[in-house]
Amino acid sequence: SSPPAPLHYLHFASLDAQQYAHLFERIRIIKGRFKRYERYQPLQDRTLAMIFEKASTRTRMSFEAGMYQMGGSVVHMTSTDSQLGRSEPIADTARVISRMVDLVMIRTFGQDRLEEFARHSRVPVINGLTNEFHPCQILADIYTYHEHRGSLAGKTVAWIGDGNNMACTWLQAADLLGFRVHISTPKGYSVDAALPSLGLANPDCYRLFDDPYEACDGADLVTTDVWTSMGYEAENQARAAAFASWCVDEAMMARARPDALFMHCLPAHRGEEVSAAVIDGPQSVVWDEAENRMHVQKALMEFLLLGRVQD
Ligand code: CP
Ligand code: NVA
């Protein structure tokens, strides 16, 4: 008989609200141990493979440092230095790699490519960013909000800019965890309504605005991202023109609640999607957000490999 299918983290809706509640508690404990220099190595003899088909600073650092801290090892591969770049099928790559390691993280283009890998993998697969979703980042963002202001439930997140992987993952999270997203995108750059679990039919979690300033009215969190995501570089010029009014500046932040936070998954372009005054200003928590990638992914890897740890 075939072994049970592994639990994958392919998008935000891969886990349910109860599993996230458990994860948040584990993140707090695991981060606390790191801050106190306490050794916590439940993943000794476990190996994570990281496959990057796009560039990365935070995702690579946070997974790699996090895995070593938990006692495990990491193997890093890109499409240019592997047979993926010479057209080896993703299914064959998955069959081979998943016989050698315990866990796989992939950053790639289409979500279908990630899902194809997962279908042929014997071990859990984590989405390290696709064109459609970036769940590890949204997990870190929600945890960061939680640390600064408490639960996001019932609150409002303003998403300013591209209807990209970050925007779509915010929508999945809002539907699952019970908060609202105000989205303002330039015409032609809205989210892809055909993606799963976006909760677009739920008026309690999704409102669309033509005017980015209006989208910020009363928001508890204002967030944005690059105008041109990886893989869309050919559209750079057209996007720069279309997005010119979608820059989160102090006037936009002034429309949000006085205690609103600003987040950006990074890398950022000051003077494009965000002004220097906002990203380097007092409401910005972008460095906590980046650090928390490591803590949330440590808890996620623990959960996928060991289940509900209680200690
Ligand atoms: N935010 C994020 O995923 O950053 P990298 O592209 O540097 O991994
Ligand atoms: N939306 C961006 C996020 C980068 C971390 C991209 O996909 O390039």
In a domain? residue 39? yes
230: Cβ below 6 Å to ligand 2?
A: yes
Tell me the C-alpha to C-alpha distance, in Å, between residue 261 and each of 42, 157, 180, 267.
34, 10, 15, 18
Whether the complex's predicted ipTM is more than 0.90 is answered with yes
Residues 86 and 219 in one domain: no
Per-residue DSSP letter, 102: S
Active-site residue, 283 included: no
Residues 193 and 269 in one domain: yes
Centre of ligand 2 to C-alpha 197, Å, is 20
pLDDT tens for 91-111 read: 999 999 999 999 999 999 999
Locate the ligand 2 atom nearest the alpha carbon of residue 231 and give its number: 8
- Residue 1 pLDDT: 66
Using the structure block, give the residue that is written with the tokens 């976006």.
198
Residues 172 and 283 in one domain: yes
With cut-offs at 50, 70 and 90, classify the pLDDT of residue 264.
Answer: very high
In a domain? residue 5? no
Q: What's the CA gap between 85 and 80, in Å, rounded?
A: 5
Name the nearest CA neighbour of 49 among 10, 91, 77.
77
Amino acid of residue 171: L
- Residue 2 pLDDT: 73
Using the structure block, give the residue that is written with the tokens 């047979």.
83
Residues 184 and 280 in one domain: yes
What ligand is nearest to the CA atom of residue 50?
1
Residues 164 and 255 in one domain: yes
Q: What is the mean pLDDT of residues 42-59?
A: 98
Using the structure block, give the residue that is written with the tokens 């592994």.
6
Active-site residue, 295 included: no
Name the nearest CA neighbour of 304 among 62, 93, 143, 118.
118
In a domain? residue 37? yes
Instruction: Provide the residue range defining the domain that includes 129.
Output: 12-133+292-306
Residues 84 and 209 in one domain: no
Centre of ligand 1 to C-alpha 248, Å, is 20
Catalytic residue among 111, 137, 172, 297: 137
Q: Are 166 and 158 in contact (CB under 8 A)?
A: no
Domain count, the chain: 2
What ligand is nearest to the CA atom of residue 60?
1
With cut-offs at 50, 70 and 90, classify the pLDDT of residue 180.
Answer: very high
Tell me the C-alpha to C-alpha distance, in Å, between residue 233 and each of 2, 108, 144, 221.
43, 15, 30, 28
Q: Helix, strand or coil for residue 173?
A: helix
Residues 151 and 242 in one domain: yes
- Residue 4 pLDDT: 81
CATH number of the domain bearing residue 77: 3.40.50.1370
